[in-house]
A and B are shown apart, each in its own frame.
Chain A
Amino acid sequence: MTEAVHTGMAANILNYVFPNDLHVHWSLMIVLYPYITGIIAGAFIVSSLYHVFKVQDLKPVSRYSLLFALAFLACATWPLLNHLGHPERNWEMLITPNPTSAMAGFGYIYSLYAILLIFEVLFIYRPTMVALKAQSTGKLKTLYNILTFGSEDLSPRSIALDKKIIAFLAAVGIPMACILHGYVGFIFGAVKARPLWSSPLMPVIFLLSASVSGIAGVIFSYVLIQKYKGRPVDSKCVITLSKFLWGAFIICFTFEMLEIFQHSYLKTHHWDMIHGLLWGPLKTSFWRMQVGICSLIPLFLLGILIIFKVREKAFVFFATIASGLLLLQVLLMRWNVVIGGQLMSRSSRGFTTFHPAFFEKEGILPAILIMAAPLVILWLLGKIMPMWEDNQPSTEPTTRT
């Protein structure tokens, strides 16, 4: 905001940032935290589409998406713990959660969700793991024994019970996933001191972008893994996923833009600051990257793929590109919301700056490590729980995965 306004109308000019606002307290780690929880919620929804809504096309990724969610779930608290000034006191969140705090519930919601997800995986995999237990020896056998709770009963009655429990867990899991991630949005939406955050739309936008990132993550990684392993990609599955992705993203993007349109139309004193932010420090990361490259391109790309008749091979190729861009879009959206919100000083008169360093405690390197960890965990999970239809133990031994 360098252009001085000399018209006498409420002119608040020249950067003044409150001295305590110069520092951005929620940095990269808090950008990753909603990103990771979003991926968890979104991937879970993919698996529920199959398990609850019986979208048969999604069978090839029904197990994979669950493990995908589980792998990210295992790491969801890492950025938070790394961010805390006193990570060793984290148990206080569970011991004395403050009922009025929008953050205190996270410990409980997260734990409940983790329990639910773990048991859903265990129930779904029980027949598989019983078979694997029979094939394996030593430590692996003990592990399978624990994971199946020492039960080898695969009688129809037992399987029917499992089926019921799976359906229940998957059904309960949908509202839970919505709560988990809508809640993360509320953590931001509930901060009245930050005009960019305090909006009832925040939980909705977070939830929708969570679905987008989850579905996009599943498509992207599924196609890449299959290509890498030299296995055929189930294009019907990718097409169906892409349709869901497109739908979710249309609503998500609409709400994101609505939020800004609303501000720009109301033109309250907040708009001066939000305008200054979006056309100032966030010009590149918001308009050029998040909206321009990572929203509009995949929006049209997916639209063209879905509306027009496109060869399956081309569909899969472009859908993967669109998914990759959308994964980036959601990350950028988290960045622009979390960092952008803090760049505006509460003096309503200026913006601070933020440049993450590479080797800091909350810098770029830890962020990369934390984002890589779920992939490693996923790979490890794949070792004990075969995630693809074609390598279930009934057809061939486990060693291949």
Chain B
Amino acid sequence: MKDVKAAINKDRREFVKKVLRGSIAGSLFLVLPMGGEGSIQIPEQIPGIRGKEYDMSKQRFAFIVDITRCIGCGSCCVADKREYDVPDGHYRTWVERYIKDFDDNVYVDCPNGGLDGYQKPRTDIPGKIRDTFFVPKLCNMCERPSCVQVCPVGATFKTPDGFVLIDKDYCVGCAYCIQACPYSARFLNPKTKTADKCTWCYHRVRKGLLPVCVHVCPAKARKFGDLNDPESEVSKILASPEVITVLKPDMGNHPALYYKGLRREVV
């Protein structure tokens, strides 16, 4: 943090310019102004991003969803909707509820994408319930993304640091990527009339903050971190003997979104 402060003091204008160009990671929000004089610093949530040049080619991030911890409160969905003003009826992230009975029937629901949480148990299930669990879904940030493959104009792309993003000033809104995504993570934003989807909060990550859904998760069911950092939680989980799977591996998309404790019923 020191060098950033020094940079500010040395040449404020130069610093701001650099921030705007994005060559100094963690832009203005590293330091929050405090009305008039003084400022506070928000501690970083992902160590090792701030205070140095962000080299896109050297980053590796992973997202892990721990099914065994999710309580289905929908905090993530609420925060996500607020962060991006997602129009009603479309979801960058959602939480599904799976119920399995003793006859192996699987009942899945996801009222309003889980935005309102799960206040009541399901009452329309005839058999005896064996198991209930929640599965949060979001963009899989595939190694081999179908959406990028099919975009006719290059408006959706994979960045050198592994994020699949959308250039909403370039997207023509043909919806081909929406058809191609095996995970239904995409939708056509009725406000911008372009494709839209979860970005793993790229703007927060670049500032050293966790994606907002990870940050608000009270149960630590969502984990995000730097794979280059052997001390990060995601590195440790991926290095552990835990069973880690991805969704629809037969699609061959090689997601960077991993699931811990995923059941076979989940698609």
A residues apposed to B, CB below 8 Å? 4-14, 16, 18-23, 25-26, 80, 83-87, 89-90, 92-93, 96-98, 100-104, 106, 187, 190-194, 342, 345-349
Contacts and interface: CB of A to CB of B under 8 A. Distances in A.
Interface of B: 89-91, 94, 96, 103-110, 112-113, 126-127, 137, 146, 148-155, 170-176, 178-188, 192-194, 251, 267
A119 B57 CA distance: 50
B19 to A, nearest CB: 29
A23 B184 CA distance: 11
A106 B150 CA distance: 12
Nearest to A12: B106
A7 B103 CA distance: 7
Contacts of A346: 182-184, 267
Given A104-B152, A191-B180, A84 B90 contact: no
A213 B222 CA distance: 53
Given A25-B178, A89-B170, A347-B267, A14 B107 contact: yes
Given A4-B105, A11-B104, A101 B186 contact: no
A347 B127 CA distance: 22
What are the 3 closest A-B residue pairs judged by CB atoms, nearest first?
A85-B173, A85-B193, A16-B108
A6 B102 CA distance: 10
A6 B105 contact: yes
A92 B170 contact: yes
Given A19-B91, A192-B251, A194-B179, A97 B103 contact: no
A90 B173 CA distance: 10
A84 B94 CA distance: 27
A168 B113 CA distance: 58
A268 B234 CA distance: 35
20 contacts: A13-B106, A14-B108, A16-B107, A20-B90, A20-B178, A20-B187, A23-B89, A84-B172, A85-B174, A89-B171, A93-B172, A96-B153, A104-B153, A191-B180, A193-B180, A346-B182, A346-B184, A346-B267, A347-B184, A347-B267
Nearest to B148: A100
B65 to A, nearest CB: 16
Contacts of A101: 149-152, 176
Contact of A20 (B170, B171, B185): B185
Given A5-B105, A85-B194, A193-B180, A103 B110 contact: no
A12 B185 CA distance: 21
Contacts, number: 145
B231 to A, nearest CB: 36
Given A14-B105, A20-B186, A101-B150, 18 more contacts: A8-B103, A16-B107, A16-B109, A19-B91, A19-B94, A23-B188, A25-B178, A84-B174, A85-B172, A85-B175, A86-B171, A92-B155, A190-B150, A191-B150, A193-B179, A193-B182, A194-B179, A346-B267
Nearest to A85: B173
A77 B187 CA distance: 23
Nearest to A194: B179
Contacts of A192: 146, 180, 182, 251
A93 B251 CA distance: 27
B105 A13 contact: yes
Contacts of B194: 85-86
A346 to B, nearest CB: 5
Nearest to A350: B108
Given A85-B171, A89-B170, A190-B150, A11 B182 contact: no
Interface-centre pick from A6, A25, A87 (highest chain B CB count, 10 A): A25
Contacts of B267: 346-349
A86 B110 contact: no
A19 B179 contact: no
A12 B103 CA distance: 11
A192 B153 CA distance: 20
A93 B192 CA distance: 19
